[in-house]
């Protein structure tokens, strides 16, 4: 094992965490996101999101073949980009509900 690569047992979790974090940052950088409406994100969040997602993909590529890695990567991106808007809308609905 060289010092420049992760052990095989850490490549999958690290790749997934980087991908999920990057997808969340990219969602936060979108102008129509519902997490913090009215508060635009800094441009650095956009680039940090892309960097994290691409590092996640590179890490997944060290764990398995290219087809499997791209499938896992895209599935993780779709998961975050499907659940974050729902969670943000649910949270916003809780604040608007009468008590």
Q: Which two tokens stand for residue 27?
A: 């969602």
**What is the number of domains present in the chain?**
1
pLDDT of residue 96: 60
> Could you tell me the residue range of the domain that residue 65 belongs to?
9-91
**Alpha-carbon gap, residue 69 to 77, rounded angstroms:** 12
pLDDT given for residue 94 in this prediction: 62
Predicted local confidence at residue 61, as pLDDT = 94
Q: Is 1 among the domain residues? A: no
Whether residue 3 is contained in a domain is answered as: no
Would 2 be classed as within a structural domain?
no
Handedness of CA 28, 32, 34, 40 (dihedral sign): positive
In a domain, 61, yes or no: yes
**pLDDT by residue for the chain (99 residues), tens digit each?**
444 566 778 889 999 999 999 999 999 988 888 777 777 778 899 999 999 999 999 999 999 999 999 999 999 999 999 999 898 888 877 666 565
- What pTM value is reported for the model? 0.82
Q: Is residue 78 part of a domain?
A: yes
**Domain for residue 40, yes or no?**
yes
């Amino acid at each position: 094992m060289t010092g420049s690569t992760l052990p095989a047992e850490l490549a999958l979790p690290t790749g997934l965490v980087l991908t999920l974090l990057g997808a969340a940052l990219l969602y936060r950088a979108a102008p129509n996101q519902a997490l913090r409406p009215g508060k635009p994100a800094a441009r650095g969040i956009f680039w940090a999101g892309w960097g994290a997602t691409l590092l996640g993909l590179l890490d997944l590529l060290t764990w398995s073949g290219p087809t499997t890695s791209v499938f896992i990567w895209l599935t993780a991106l779709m998961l975050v980009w499907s659940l974050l808007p729902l969670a943000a809308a649910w949270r916003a609905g809780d604040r608007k509900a009468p008590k």
